Amino acid sequence: MRPQPRFRTSLLITATLLLIISLLSLSVKRSPVLEKVEGVVVSMAAPGLQGLHYLGRTLAGVWEGYFNLVGVQRENAALKRRLDEYAQKEVRYQEAQQTLARLESLLDLKKEVALPVVGAHVIAYDPSLWSRCALLDQGRDQGVRRGQPVLTAQGIAGRIVEVYPHYSKVMLIVDRSSNADAMVQRTRVRGILQGKGGNRCSLGYVPKSADVQTGDLVLASGLGGVFPKGQVFGKVSGANKKTPGVFQEIEVTPVVDLSALEEVVVVKVVNLAASP
C-alpha cells in the first residue's frame, strides 16, 4: 500500500526541517567543513549584499533628499513672500517719512509767511508743450482765488490763473507767460523774472554794470504785490554781458523741481502789497 500524497508531503517537509536544524547545529559547533562552505558562500554573496545595501542607502538618501528639497523650496517660498512683504512695508514707511518731512516743511513755511494759506496737492500737469501749468485739488470753495501765489518749502512755484469749485490751475514760474519783479539777494539788483519754458527762467532788464554772478540767489522783491518778499525764485546759472544792448543776459534755474511737485501751499491773499 503506497503512502498517500498528503502524507508524503508531510514527510518531505519534516525531513527538510530536520536537515536545516542539523546544519544549524553543525554550524554552531563550527565544523571545519561547514566553515569552508560558509566562507565560500559568504565570499560569493557578500559583494552582492554589499551592493544591495549601498543601493538601498543611496535610494533612501535620494528619497530623503527629495523630501528635504521640497521642504526647503517651501521654506524659501515662504521666506521670499515675507521678504517681499517687508520690502513693501519699507517702501511705505520711507514714503510716509518723506511725506511727513514735506508736510513739516510746509508747516514751517506757513509760520514763516504768517498769512492765511491752504494746502493743496498737485494732481495733474498741463500736457501742452507751450504751457507750464499744474492742476491743484483745492478751488473756489476752499478760498482759492486768481492771482494768489503758490509756494513750496523750497521756494516759489507760481500763481493761480484759473479757479473752479474744487480745483484750480497754477501757472508755474517757468511758463513763457509768467513774469514777476525779482532781485539778486547779494547785491539787491532788481529785474524782471520771466519764464523760458522747460526748467529755465531769465532775469531781464538788468544793466550790464550790475554785479550779478553765477550762484547768486534770486528772490521775490515784494513789488507788484504777487509774491511774498524774500521767497526764493532760483539761482543764477549764467550771466552774459557780451550780448548787444544795455542789459546783460541772465539765466536763472528754479530752486524748486517744478516737474515733480506734490504738495504746495496757496497764500490766500491776492494782493500782498495791500495786505496788513
- Cβ atoms of 207 and 250 closer than 8 Å: no
Number of domains the chain is built from: 2
Q: Is 133 part of any domain?
A: yes
Distance CA 66, CA 10 (A): 50
Q: Is 244 part of any domain?
A: yes
Which pTM does this prediction carry?
A: 0.65
Which tens digits make up the pLDDT trace of 168-216?
999 999 999 999 999 999 999 999 999 998 889 999 999 999 999 999 9
Output the nine-digit C-alpha cell for 267. Answer: 497764500
14 has pLDDT over 90: no
* Domain CATH number, residue 121: 2.40.10.340
Q: Is 103 part of any domain?
A: no
Q: Are residues 173 and 246 in the same domain?
A: yes
Distance CA 263, CA 108 (A): 14
- Cβ atoms of 268 and 118 closer than 8 Å: yes
Q: Are residues 139 and 243 in the same domain?
A: yes
Specify the 3-state DSSP secondary structure of 269.
Answer: coil
Pick the range with the lowest mean pLDDT from 31-40, 129-138, 225-234: 31-40
Q: Are residues 129 and 55 in the same domain?
A: no
Q: Are residues 81 and 135 in the same domain?
A: no
Output the nine-digit C-alpha cell for 236. Answer: 543764477
Q: What percent of the chain is predicted at pLDDT more than 70?
A: 64
- Give the pLDDT confidence score for residue 28 in this predicted structure: 47
Q: Are residues 83 and 209 in the same domain?
A: no
Q: What is the dihedral of CA 77, 83, 88, 92, to 10 degrees?
A: 160
Which tens digits make up the pLDDT trace of 55-89?
667 766 666 666 677 777 777 777 777 777 766 76
